[in-house]
Amino acid sequence: MTGPIPTTVIGGFLGAGKTTLVNHLLRHAGGRRITVLVNDFGELAIDQDLIEARDGDTLSLANGCACCSTGGDLALALNRMIEGENPPDHLLIEASGVADPDALADFARADPGLKLSGIVVLMDQGDITALLNDRRIGAQVARQIASADLLLLNKSDRDAPPGLPARLRSLAPRAAFLIVERAVLPTDLVLGDLAPRGRWRADPVLPRRHEDDFVRWAYTSDTPMPRNKLTAALTGLPTGLVRLKGFVALIDDDMVEVQAGWDWREIRPATSYGTDDRTRLVAIGLSPSFDGTSLDRLFSHDC
């Protein structure tokens, strides 16, 4: 028996780019076996070149991922998957265009077989304002946005009306907020643990065309560092930072857990760092302002 399956809910109104994001994540699964449950009555619009086999409502992908329509019965599909022989490394629930992502996330919160990683809500810059102003569906779209841990605004040909970021921010004050193009962004960013809610905040960053624009940085050190050095490093984080997290071993002090985003930093006593008492940090940011060398310099203190 393995642990609960990490679960990410992907929501957003019709045409927001949910399927584009799902395809992107499947294409860049990075060795993860992802299962997508599509809780919608649309067709399974998975890129043809990814599909290896089709069996009824289930598509098998060459990289070990799978995509399955729930036929309107998410509970049944979840039951099958949780009780199945070969649970995936990660579960994506693609909500229907009218679904409340938070209600779907509750399945992951409630079920011992699942663990909620977060709620990603997409919007299309071209129509989100009209949708929010729509008498009939505006409230439902606003509820979707409010449920987000990570809010992705897909750029379109049409310019965003002024004030849109502020309006979205007020609807989802706790969410991280990124502007993207064709839903291109790192898989580990989307599937990573988006909690704790209200901690990961970033201002909108410029759209990127390629996943290559995102830079990953990882750092391990056996040498504990002084606390003031850590504080200084966090203060000097580069502007392209999207997210940083990990554990830092301090001199003459307990291990601490560190989290940071665009405009926030957090240090707190580490509770679950296991038996590894080294400093371990990972971060994602956008080139060129974010680069690994400058981060190495900030955190290394041997010399």
What residue ranges bind other proteins (CB under 8 A)?
Answer: 13-14, 41-43, 69, 71-75, 78-79, 82-83, 97-98, 100, 102-104, 106-107, 109-112, 116, 136-137, 139-140
Could you tell me the smallest distance in angstroms from the CB atom of residue 278 to other proteins? 30
In Å, how far from its chain's centre is CA 182?
15
148 Cβ neighbours under 8 A, 6+ residues apart: 11, 101, 119, 120, 121, 172, 175
Query: Which structure tokens are listed for 170?
Result: 């007020």
Distance CA 34, CA 14 (A): 23
Pick the closer one to other proteins by CB: 18 or 32: 18
Pick the closer one to other proteins by CB: 51 or 255: 51
| DSSP designation for 84 | S
Could you tell me the smallest distance in angstroms from the CB atom of residue 43 to other proteins? 4
Could you tell me the smallest distance in angstroms from the CB atom of residue 89 to other proteins? 22
Could you tell me the smallest distance in angstroms from the CB atom of residue 8 to other proteins? 15
CB 300 within 8 A of CB 279: no
Strand order in the sheet with 241-248: 214-221, 279-286, 241-248, 256-261, 264-269
Pick the closer one to other proteins by CB: 73 or 159: 73
Pick the closer one to other proteins by CB: 136 or 210: 136
Pick the closer one to other proteins by CB: 110 or 206: 110
Could you tell me the smallest distance in angstroms from the CB atom of residue 266 to other proteins? 20
Query: Which structure tokens are listed for 200?
Result: 């990961």
